[in-house]
Structure 1
């Protein structure tokens, strides 16, 4: 699993005042930030820190504290260098250190940078940009999301969490000038919360009258039971992955006279 965060500023006392963080002192802040990481990130997970691991100008005592914190962090640790990350920070034994990173997580292209951007590699094809640097001043836009601790309750976050927030953020007002004709999706899957490409929504499934149907044709895929109707609200879209992977046989009932065609992943008349 991949986890993302930015701007922890470990052992940086002034950041508590600058960002109005709810900690009485540096020790309390360090302890809380570290505990949140250790509670979530597993030993085989990847932890991406998008800059400003600490303040660059640090005393010997602060450097010792930061090194101790680094070694206590779980998982494979990656640093996307921020403006406060001096050479001694980058020289810690990170699994990787870079100015930017272009990665794919769960088939989603992500471009990582300490700073928010207007466009980036993959932006025209539903790629998300993740950033930090601005602390609590800006959460981001529909396709560029702040993963800093100051806007995520001082904890690292996963891609599904980021995608759900992205869908609720406004489109950058400069987007059409920078990438004209590249509208950003606003439709979410009711099952997993993923953003659905608007160009493909007509081919997605939608919940209608207690059934999941093909949005474009109304063809029934499955009939929902009572519990599933509460979980999947009327009119919401459902992605193919959720239909194929998350809805168990015990939770759905095929309409009379229909059988499930695994190749097409939908109900079809029996004998056809």
Structure 2
């Protein structure tokens, strides 16, 4: 690995993205250690998804730099793409294909050796209880089954960092807790760093070793869930922390409305 901080999974320095006059991400500085479950929290329109898109090389920054496991997103994007997995908020699995076919396509795209593909795919499906659904069309899956498939698909090439944008949005409590258990198992097996966004403060509290709250494109507070709750008093929970540090403003409402509409569409698709 290259870079100044080989022990960091994600490092950003002044990372910025503008869309015309809108400053979506404002000189963002983040340091995420390897092996961490890191939660990027904030209201709709705060800049979380834009940040993830830059870190996964789907969107070029306007200013600033970022490194993933030591590799620069601007000058070494191909190396970065090999090192990351990404589960977007919107469904990404192809409903016209079976679970097995989805994973085979992904394995080819990431140049997983032919001799290893079926063994790795079979193990991935078994790890999330989808082995009996391998030959079923994904369009017939429940929302929880699709999310489980998407997560193991994004892990098939054994990424150093897995980015998850609202991974359990629209899922019922049983499915949500199942995803949490799946993520814990994957971390234990692979040592992958997780970088997730969520509006579920129980999820953030349950999974994350550290969280950062974004407001108007920049991080306003950062720490462990326990540290942040302690700042507000003995009986505070992470919902209280979120409310305290991510107050709404008129300036973010237009962007927030767009994100709310997108979130609702995703929730409807997940059923």
* TM-score bin, normalised by smaller chain: under 0.3
> By percentage of residues, which structure has more helix?
2
Q: Indicate the structure whose relative CO is greater, using CA pairs within 8 Å and at least 6 residues apart.
A: 2
TM-score by length of 2: 0.27
Decide which structure has the larger Cα Rg and report it.
1
TM-score by length of 1: 0.27
